[in-house]
Structure formats: structure tokens, C-alpha cells
Amino acid sequence: MEFKRNIIITGGAGFIGSHVVRLFVNKYPDYRIINLDKLTYAGNLANLVDIENSPNYVFVKADICDYEKMTELMNTYNVDGIIHLAAESHVDRSIKDPFTFARTNVMGTLSLLQAAKVYWESLPERYEGKRFYHISTDEVYGALSLTNPAGDENGRGPYGPDFFFETTKYNPHSPYSASKAGSDHFVRAFHDTYGMPTIVTNCSNNYGPYQFPEKLIPLFINNIRHRKPLPVYGKGENVRDWLYVVDHARAIDLIFHEGKVAETYNIGGFNEWKNIDIIHVIIKTVDRLLGNPEGHSLDLITYVTDRMGHDLRYAIDSNKLKNELGWEPSLQFEEGIEKTVRWYLDNQEWMDNITSGEYEKYYESMYQGR
Ligand code: NAD
Ligand code: TYD
């Protein structure tokens, strides 16, 4: 079958990538979707069982740092679009092992860019109809101050007058955000130097089904279920801006098709939460759904040594995306968190498959000495 487009989605077996792959495979039967993933600890093909037999879906196990392989894939599949999500993504791991982050996030992105450049420049139409879309994070902008710790009249965000805009100067603090910043710069440099049609988006914290349980929300849901301690870093006062993952995938679809080349778009839901407040929402929701009395799991909250260099506050201004392309989040947070908690409780087998084996060693090493 001749496909209308041939799109590589890197990191498609991970958390956000699996939602993007699912959306594209189902919504565009005339596109061939090539999921390119190394299957690191964070990659899990069980995230995609519902679409794995679709005629327009191909899975390729490969490392984005393998330049020859990237070149081969560009040619084999006549690739005309890349949506690049593959990355090392966890801040705590980056603090322990920054090299892996520089390798995958910086060198891997460069290897993919160069393979795309060489292939596209070899074609008669060159860059026409091509697109390299790089998925990045708001963490590259650094951290905002928490000047309004009490929040609004309902005790909710915004927790300060300032936001991250597309024009905010990069100021990454963690090895993770530094490596993502490096990759973002390479993507923009490939546009400015070679004319590659690139787009970069910077999104806030995502939550939802299929997130690896080293991240706050799935980790805490699972720990509550097993009556394990909930390790709150520092005083739990750090603020994050949370977006339901399916809304991020919807934004990626829209921007891939309608975003302007060489532009940057911020993606976020104007949904700031202090960690300790979101933890209370999680506890309340899990307890209710498990039939526990209200407050039953509050005793699991355990304050631990703060993360090194812990960014105080992230808050995205996504008005450019709203005004130019008409995107808005479809879910209110209350609905999103209810769906999320239900999903993890209903999919205990998915969680158990991950948390058995190697995961336990990782989890113990993470909290040693805290
Ligand atoms: P994840 O850790 O869940 O998944 C990453 C995926 O990339 C995994 O499937 C892994 O196997 C794959 N991968 C890692 N190294 C690879 C390599 N060398 N070659 C090929 N594949 C490799 O990450 P996520 O949370 O889904 O994040 C996806 C992207 O979105 C990342 O680029 C991240 O920086 C960005 N992002 C994440 C968030 C968030 O809240 N999770 C927010 C904004 C942006
Ligand atoms: P995380 O999910 O790791 O995302 P990020 O660091 O990219 O924002 O963490 C979200 C927030 O929760 C962050 O402020 C760190 C905090 N946190 C804890 O307090 N305890 C934990 O066990 C984890 C994993 C995170």
C-alpha cells in the first residue's frame, strides 16, 4: 500500500510517545507510523497492544544515537516527517548519571537531525513537504519564583506573576534540562544553517495513563495502594503546571500539521499545583476509589531530603498556541486526575510487570540515604 505520509515517531514506546503513536495510527490510516524506540527501562510495548497489529503501524527497535541506522531508516521508509520524543526524561536519574542524558538527548538528537538532513537534501524536492518536530520541556527555561505562596482566593495558582513564554531566555538547572536545552539549540541551528523545516514545542508536566512509576503521580498512586511511604521532597512546596497527556498529544497533532516552521510553541494548561496539594488530591482520590475512609493514607506522607537543585516553580503561558492555532486543553484537572487514578487502579497488571524485577533495585537506590 502506498502511504500518504511516512512518519517516524521516536520514543513511541514511552509515556507521551505511546499516546502520540496511538492518536496518529488511529486518526490517520493513510499515514505509515514508524515507532522508533530503543526500549530502555522506560520503553514498554505493552503501552501499545491495542494498535500493534494496525496495518499502518511499524515498530523498529533502534537507538537514535546509531547514525548509520537512522540513515538506513530514512531511506527504507522514505520518511517525510519526524516527531522526536525519545529521550532520557527523569530529573533524579540525570542527577545520578548525567552522561547518559548528554548521549541520548544531545548526541541522539544530533544523529537524527543529521540523518534527516542528508536524506532530505538527497531528494529532488529537498525539504519541501518535510518536517522535523522536536518535543521539549518547559524545564529548559529554568525556574520561576514563588512570590505568591498562598495562591488565589481558592488557595490555588498562579503562585507568582511571572510565566514561561516562548521568548523566555533558556536557563536550565538540572542535567536533564541542560541536555534538553542542548538538543533544542541543535534543532534550531539545523533550521538556521541548512533551512531544515523544524518546530520545537516546550510542554509542562504531563500526567495520565502509561507513565513510568518513577514520576510523582504514578509512583504515589502505586505506593498508596501498597501502603508504602510517599517520599515528599523538601517541604512539598515546589509548584508544577500539570497537563493531561492526551491533551499534549492533541497539541502535537495540531502543531505537526498546522504549526509554522521555525516557530516555538509553549504547551500547558494554566494548571499550577504545589506538590503537597496535588499529593493530598491523589491520596483522597485513591482512598475513595479503594473504599478506604477519608484520610486513611495521609500517614504515608514522608518528608525526605530535597532533590539537589530542585526547581521551585514552573508555569507555562500557552496563549500563543491558543491564539494562533486554537488549541486548548479538553480536560479539567479534576476529571483528568480521576481518570488517571482509575486507570492505574484498573491496570494493576501493567504496573506489576514494571515494578517487579529491576525496578525494585532502582527504587531502593534512589531513596538510600534520604
Ligand atoms: P519516557 O521516559 O516515558 O519515554 C522515553 C522513551 O524514549 C522510551 O520509550 C525510551 O525507550 C525511548 N528512548 C530513550 N532513549 C532512547 C534512545 N537512545 N533511542 C531510542 N529511543 C530511546 O519519556 P516521556 O515522559 O514520554 O517524555 C517524552 C518526551 O517528552 C521527552 O523528550 C521529554 O523530554 C518530553 N517531555 C516530557 C514531559 C513529561 O512530563 N513527561 C513534559 C514535557 C516534555
Ligand atoms: P517528577 O514527576 O519527577 O517531574 P519533574 O521533576 O520533571 O517536575 O516530579 C514532580 C515534582 O514532584 C517535583 O517537584 C519533584 C517532586 N517529587 C517528590 O516530591 N517526590 C517524588 O518521589 C518524586 C518522584 C517527585
Taking only the tens place, the pLDDT of each residue in 346-362 is: 999 999 999 987 777 77
192 is catalytic: no
Q: Is 268 in the pocket of ligand 2 (CB under 6 A)?
A: no
115: nearest Cα among 24, 196, 42: 196
Q: Average pLDDT of the chain?
A: 96
Read off the C-alpha cell for 255: 502543531
In the block, which residue shows the cell 486507570? 343
Q: Where are the domains of the chain?
A: 5-210+241-272+309-332
Per-residue confidence (pLDDT) for residue 363, from 0 to 100: 75
242 CB-contact burial (10 Å; exposed 0-12 / middle 13-18 / buried 19+): buried
Instruction: Give the rounded percent of residues in the chain with a pLDDT score beyond 70.
Output: 99
| pLDDT above 70: residue 187 | yes
Nearest 5°: CA angle at 348, between 37 and 269? 65
Banded pLDDT at 107 (limits 50, 70, 90): very high
Q: What is the DSSP letter of 271?
A: -
Asked if residue 231 has its Cβ within 6 Å of ligand 2, the reply is: yes
90 alpha carbon – ligand 2 mean position (Å): 9
Q: What is the pLDDT of residue 366?
A: 73
For the segment 188-194, the average pLDDT, to the nearest whole number, is 98
Q: Specify whether the backbone of 304 is left (phi greater than 0), alpha (psi in -120 to 50) or beta.
A: beta
Mutate to test the pocket of ligand 2, among 233, 248, 274, 281 (most ligand atoms within 8 A of CB): 233
The half-sphere exposure of 248 on its side-chain side, counting CA atoms within 13 A, is: 30
Pairing of strands 239-244, 205-207: parallel
Rounded distance from Cα 105 to ligand 1 centre (Å) = 9
> CA-CA distances (angstroms) from residue 157 to 151, 163, 235?
5, 12, 17
> Which whole number is the average pLDDT over 318-322?
98
Beta pairing partners, 257: none
Instruction: Quickly list DSSP for 225-245.
Output: HTT--EEEETTS--EEEEEEH
What are phi and psi for residue 32, nearest 5 degrees? Answer: -90, 125
pLDDT in tens, 243-264: 999 999 999 999 999 999 999 9
Average pLDDT, integer, range 209-217: 97
Ligand 2 within 6 A of CB of 238: yes
What separation in Å is there between the alpha carbon of 150 and the centre of ligand 2?
21
Residues 50-54 have a mean pLDDT of 98
Q: For residues 240 and 205, is the Cβ–Cβ distance under 8 A? A: yes
Average pLDDT rounded to a whole number, residues 137-164: 94
User: Which ligand gives the minimal distance to the CA of 366?
Assistant: 2
Give the pLDDT band of residue 147 (cuts 50, 70, 90): very high
Mean pLDDT along residues 111-134: 98
pLDDT at 369 exceeding the cut of 60: no
What residue spans of 36-195 are helical by DSSP H?
Answer: 67-76, 91-96, 98-101, 109-121, 175-194
Provide the pLDDT for residue 45: 97
* Superfamily (CATH) of domain 5-210+241-272+309-332: NAD(P)-binding Rossmann-like Domain (3.40.50.720)
Which letter does DSSP use for residue 206 in this model?
E
pTM > 0.95: yes
Active site residue 138: yes
Band of pLDDT at residue 154, cut at 50, 70 and 90: confident
State the number of CA atoms in the 13 A half-sphere of 114 facing the CB: 13
C-alpha span between 266 and 322 (Å, rounded) = 10
Q: Cβ distance 179 to 100 under 8 Å? A: no
**Which of 206, 279, 289 lies closest to 245 in space, CA to CA?**
206
282 membership: H or E segment, kind and range:
helix 275-290
Answer yes or no: is the C-beta of 218 below 6 A from any ligand 2 atom: no
What number does the ligand 2 atom closest to the CA of 137 have? 7
Ligand sitting nearest the alpha carbon of 18:
1
pLDDT of residue 368: 66
- Which pairing describes strands 272-274 and 239-244: parallel, antiparallel, or unpaired? antiparallel
The yes-or-no answer on residue 367 being catalytic is: no
Rounded to the nearest whole angstrom, what is the distance from the C-alpha of residue 216 to the centroid of ligand 2?
5
Using CA atoms, how far apart are residues 308 and 299, in angstroms rounded to an integer?
25
Protein residue closest via CA to atom 44 of ligand 1: 137
Closest by CA to 249, choosing from 96, 36, 28, is: 28
- Average the pLDDT over 85-96 and give the result: 98
Least confident of 313-322, 334-343, 354-363: 354-363
Q: What is the C-alpha separation between 150 and 280, in angstroms, rounded?
A: 16
3-state secondary structure of 327: coil
The answer on pLDDT for 370 being more than 70 is no
Q: Are 24 and 256 in contact (CB under 8 A)?
A: no
> Which residue's CA is minimally distant from atom 10 of ligand 1?
43
Q: Is any ligand 2 atom within 6 A of the Cβ of residue 232?
A: yes
Residue 316 β-bridge partners: 164
Give the Å distance between the CA of 288 and the centre of ligand 2.
23
**Close Cβ partners of 304 (under 8 Å, ≥ 6 residues apart):** 231, 232, 233, 367, 370
pLDDT band at 47 (very low <50, low <70, confident <90, very high): very high
Catalytic residue selected from 63, 88, 138, 311: 138
- What DSSP string runs through 295-325? TTTGGGEEEEPPPTT---B--B--HHHHHHH
